[in-house]
Amino acid sequence: MLIALYIRHIEDDSRQQIDRLVGILNKNGIDTDIVTGSLPDRPYDFLFSIGGDGTLLSSVHLIGSRDIPVLGVNFGHLGFLTTTGRDNLDTLAADLLAQRYTLEPRTLLHVEAHHNADTLATFALNEVSLHRFDDAPLLRTDLFVGDDFVANYAGDGLIVATPTGSTAYSLSCGGPILTPDSGCFVITPIGVHNLTLRPIIVPDTALLRLVTHPSPQQFSLGMDSRRKHLPYGAEIRLSREDFKVRLVRLGNQSFFTAIHQKLGWGV
């Protein structure tokens, strides 16, 4: 078995734990590569994301369409997307070798941003967000689902989240929680000035177009933890990505145990 250990930043307080994890895996006959930049072209069985949710999001962009399951090891704080933490490193190798885990396919958003002749193409696991800058006028965005006009959103911005991202930025703005296998996206307004506009759920087979109204200003396009400045008047097209990412859950863990334990859901 060959595992890539992806670490964005090796801090002094985590170096000892990383060395401990490598020692445990190697002792159980598991080969490891520590990766801090691009991912080598090797036949990895798993990629361990060492850090918090931000590191896991970065790891998904690192592997792209390569079908490598991702297991999050939480060295951060909340770590909602991560599977295990510092206190469970001793049993991690045994769980993998005994196949005491499940793989959860997670839908990705395919993102295309268009302005004049310029096009940006990428993908996102959590969400795509449009947000105005503090000194900019209201961001006015027309939303289309397929050929159907839905509404004009005038406010601070707009979020389109996957089921995975429904527990992140969208949730903090009043959006619903979606189960990972729900097969839909949620569109959540940010600080919208029309109180009749509420989050809306659409099937993930739909093509979404977000057309911003022209203005001599720029707005921020967020794609997970990455951001790009675009001029008002740009158009964002969103659809379901052709490939998925597989997240690893150990033992008897499930999506609902995660929202109970990490979000305090229902407590």
User: Are 46 and 3 spatial neighbours (Cβ–Cβ below 8 Å)?
Assistant: yes
Angle at 68 (CA atoms; ends 67, 71), nearest 5 degrees: 140
User: Are 28 and 93 spatial neighbours (Cβ–Cβ below 8 Å)?
Assistant: yes
Q: Known catalytic residues?
A: 53
The 3 state secondary structure assigned to 48-78 is EEEECHHHHHHHHHHHCCCCCCEEEEECCCC
Other C-beta atoms lying within 10 Å of the C-beta of residue 19 = 10
State the Cα–Cα distance between residues 24 and 166, nearest whole angstrom. 35
Rounded alpha-carbon distances, angstroms, from residue 145 to 57, 150, 192, 200, 242: 27, 7, 19, 11, 19
Beta strands in 162-240 (DSSP E): 184-190, 200-203, 208-212, 218-223, 226-231, 235-240
The structure tokens listed for 136 are 């900019």
User: Are 225 and 57 spatial neighbours (Cβ–Cβ below 8 Å)?
Assistant: yes
State the Cα–Cα distance between residues 203 and 206, nearest whole angstrom. 6
User: Are 137 and 215 spatial neighbours (Cβ–Cβ below 8 Å)?
Assistant: yes
